[in-house]
Amino acid sequence: MNMVKKNDQIVIEIEDIGTNGEGIGKYKGYTLFVNNTIIGDKALVKVMKAGKSYGYARLVEIIRPSENRVIPRCPIADKCGGCQIMHMDYSKQLVYKEDKVRNCLERIGGFSNIPIETICGMDEPYYYRNKSQYPVGRNKEGNVIIGFYAGRTHSIIDTEHCYIGAEINTPIIKFMRSFIEDYNIEPYNEEQHTGLLRHILIRVGYTTGEVMVCLVINGKDIPHKKELIEGLISISGMKSICLNINTSKTNVILGDRIVALWGEPYITDYIGSIKYQISPLSFFQVNPIQTEKLYNIALEFADLHGNEIVWDLYCGIGTISLFLAQKAKQVYGVEIIPQAIEDAKTNAQLNGIENVEFYVGAAEEILPKKHAEENIRADVIVVDPPRKGCDKSLLDTILSIEPKRIVYVSCDPATLARDLKYLCESMYEIKRVKPVDQFGHSVHVETVCLLSRKAPV
């Protein structure tokens, strides 16, 4: 017999926080997950789902707020899927993230006494994103809505102002709303795969102030282009207006084809002193200020003096590679997506950086191949894998190449801990671990870790 059943209303104390930012509390020993609660809250909750050993509940009312609780600046923070922990004081978010890294290294990695350096937080944890994607639709009453998806669903929460997006988004969305209404542009209907306008993608160059608006459409063209362009170019910084053609019945936001309507099909921005060209489809870090800090930490950990051969695995558009190239003899970047490598080469050229070479392919295939065929050395290896971490065969290759240092940049402390455990079982030891907050108000945390080859015994 479960302690609780669906629709029960009970009072619990939140004692822990889950990997997705949800509060965790116990009712007579039975675990409940409750969104929008934090450690220290005493809350009235309503049980939505009661499984055998744990269940999910919805917050009804905070009875006694945690001392770390704040009123989120954003009025839709509870509903919107974008921010999970905006109701936690920002300095406490940082403590939570640091703890998350420590817990993973201890529980998953089996490490103890690892000195974790103070997390590198944001000076201004608002309006930091340089890319926003607003879905467009209609509500039950038939009115046009533009906003963000609610957590884990595709229902759109209507909003004009996002507190973590660029401030220029607000006048753009205001204009788009009136354009859609005035000219009867039909929003896309996901269930029926009808209608035209799916998403509004906005990208902003943080340093340059350049703005791109890209409308994702289920069709070949958009009517009233003249009025659309006139309206958008009156917004300061507008540099690029494009269409992205996506006529597939899919959850994927962007299609493959870009049609430039006005201006260049790209904007430029800087990270540090390096310039990047960003098109609607390019991957680019969304928080350039923290990215610069992150890359500088990676560069410091790599400890380059000008003679080193460095590999940057999972290099994306070569952002870390170009940073490293400023201090290394030669950098080799490896990335699986061909378009990203095209962008990486363009960016190297744009900056006149010549001591870097890029390869398309899986890191776990390219590194052993180049090492065996061309006997390319590796003094330092930098890895920045996606959340699932590194392929085990790649770790084996790294172990066989024996670089002096490995700099592991991670977006998931759990897989980081797993991979570090493997690397440290044999030849390497952890020297430094520094978490970085790239995504204030979300549960995500980046970590830069320096491993060094143990001295032979």
d(CA 58, CA 35): 7
Tokens of 246: 């996506």
User: Please, what is the minimum distance in Å from the beta carbon of residue 391 to ligand SAH?
Assistant: 6
**Known catalytic residue at 104:** no
- State the greatest distance between any 2 C-alpha atoms of the chain, in Å, as a whole number: 76
Asked if 316 interacts with ligand SAH (CB under 6 A), we say yes
Question: Of 17-25, 252-260, 272-280, 330-338, which segment contacts ligand SAH by CB under 6 A?
Answer: 330-338
- Among 289, 362, 376, 399, indicate the residue that binds ligand SAH (CB under 6 A): 362
Residue from the set 320, 324, 407, 445 that interacts with ligand SAH by CB under 6 A: 320
d(CA 109, CA 245): 45
Q: Does 335 bind ligand SAH (CB under 6 A)?
A: yes
The verdict on 412 binding ligand SAH (CB under 6 A) reads no
At position 302, the amino acid (one-letter code) is A
For ligand SAH, which residue of 336, 376, 401, 427 counts as binding (CB under 6 A)? 336
Question: Is the CB of 75 or the CB of 338 nearer to ligand SAH?
Answer: 338
Q: Which residues contact 338 (CB under 8 A, 6 or more apart)?
A: 360
Q: Which stretch binds ligand SAH (CB under 6 A): 65-73, 113-121, 173-181, 311-319?
A: 311-319
Binding flag, residue 96, ligand SAH (CB under 6 A): no
Q: Applying CB under 6 A, which of residues 314, 332, 408, 439 lies at the interface with ligand SAH?
A: 314
Stretch that binds ligand SAH, among 75-83, 109-117, 209-217, 357-365 (CB under 6 A): 357-365
DSSP secondary structure letter of residue 329 = S
Asked if residue 364 lies in contact with residue 393, where contact means CB atoms within 8 angstroms, the answer is: yes
- Out of 37, 285, 290, 347, the residue judged to bind ligand SAH by CB under 6 A: 285
Amino acid at 15: E
Q: Cβ of residue 217: shortest distance to ligand SAH, in angstroms?
A: 26
Lookup: tokens for 205: 């160059």
Residue 283 sits in the site that holds ligand SAH (CB under 6 A): yes
Identify residues 158-197 at the interface with ligand SAH (CB under 6 A): none
Token pair belonging to 437? 């907050």
CA distance linking residue 263 with residue 242, whole number of Å: 9
Binding ligand SAH by CB under 6 A: which of 35, 130, 132, 319? 319
Q: Does 386 contact ligand SAH by CB under 6 A?
A: yes
Task: State which residue, 320 or 331, has the beta carbon closest to ligand SAH.
Answer: 320
Nearest Cα to Cα of residue 224 among 188, 182, 259, 258: 182
Q: Which stretch of DSSP H or E encloses residue 201?
A: strand 197-204
Is there binding between residue 419 and ligand SAH (CB under 6 A)? no
Strands 211-217 and 309-313 turn out to be: unpaired
Query: Judged by CB under 6 A, which stretch of 89-97, 183-191, 215-223, 313-321 contacts ligand SAH?
Result: 313-321
> Whole-angstrom Cα distance, residue 394 to residue 441?
33
337 binds ligand SAH (CB under 6 A): yes
Point out which residues pair with 414 in neighbouring strands: none
Number of CB atoms found within 10 A of residue 144's CB: 19
Could you tell me the smallest distance in angstroms from the CB atom of residue 365 to ligand SAH?
Answer: 8
Q: How far apart are the first and last CA of the chain?
A: 58
Q: How far is the CB of 270 from ligand SAH (least distance, A)?
A: 14
Q: What dihedral do alpha carbons 152, 157, 161, 166 form, nearest 10°?
A: 30
289 binds ligand SAH (CB under 6 A): no
Pick one of 38, 74, 122, 340: the residue that binds ligand SAH (CB under 6 A). 340
**What are the helix (H) ranges across 234-359?**
288-302, 319-325, 338-350
Q: How many chain residues touch ligand SAH (CB under 6 A)?
A: 18
Our CA dihedral for 47, 52, 54, 60, rounded to 10 degrees, sits at 0
Q: Which is nearer to ligand SAH, 43 or 451 (CB)?
A: 451
> Considering the rule CB under 6 A, would residue 269 count as an interface residue with ligand SAH?
no
Of 120, 162, 390, 411, the catalytic one is 411
- Other beta carbons less than 10 A from residue 52's beta carbon: 7
**Contact flag: residue 436 with ligand SAH (CB under 6 A):** no
Which pairing describes strands 330-335 and 428-436: parallel, antiparallel, or unpaired?
Answer: unpaired
Q: Which residues bind ligand SAH (CB under 6 A)?
A: 283, 285, 314-316, 319-320, 334-337, 340, 362-364, 384-386
Catalytic (active-site) positions: 411
